[in-house]
A and B are shown apart, each in its own frame.
Chain A
Amino acid sequence: MNHYEQEINQLMLEIFNRILVTEEKALSRGEFKDLSVAEMHTLEGIGLYNSRTMSETAAILEITTGTLTVAVDRLVRKGYVARNRDASDRRVVRVCLTRKGKLAYRMHNKFHTLLVDRITEPLSTEQRDVLLTTLKGIAGFVGEQYRRYTEYPEKQEKRTGQPHETRTTRLEGTL
Chain B
Amino acid sequence: MTSKHSESVGQIVREALASVIGTPEKKITGEAQLILDLGMDSLALYEFVIELEEYFELQISDEDIDRIHTVDDIINEIERRLEAGKT
Contact = CB atoms under 8 A, between A and B. Distances in A.
A113 B63 CA distance: 11
Interface SS of B by simple majority: helix
A120 interface: no
Contacts of A106: 46, 49-50, 62
B43 A103 contact: yes
Interface string B41-77: 0110011011100100001001000000000000000
Interface in A95-140: 99, 102-103, 106-107, 109-110, 113
Contacts of B54: 99
8 contacts: A49-B59, A99-B51, A99-B54, A103-B43, A107-B42, A107-B43, A109-B62, A110-B46
Interface SS of A by simple majority: helix
Interface residues of A, number: 10
A99 B62 CA distance: 17
A103 B42 contact: no
A110 B59 contact: no
A31 interface: yes
A31 B46 CA distance: 13
Contacts of A107: 42-43, 46
A79 to B, nearest CB: 14
B50 A31 contact: no
B46 A103 contact: yes
Contacts of B51: 99
Interface size class of B (residues with CB under 8 A): 10 to 19
Interface of B: 42-43, 46-47, 49-51, 54, 59, 62
Residue with the highest number of chain A CB atoms closer than 10 Å, among B42, B49, B51, B59? B42
A96 to B, nearest CB: 12
A103 B62 contact: no
Nearest to A113: B62
Contacts of B42: 107, 110
A127 B49 CA distance: 34
Contacts of A110: 42, 46, 62
B50 A102 contact: yes
B50 A99 contact: yes
A47 to B, nearest CB: 12
B47 to A, nearest CB: 6
A44 to B, nearest CB: 14
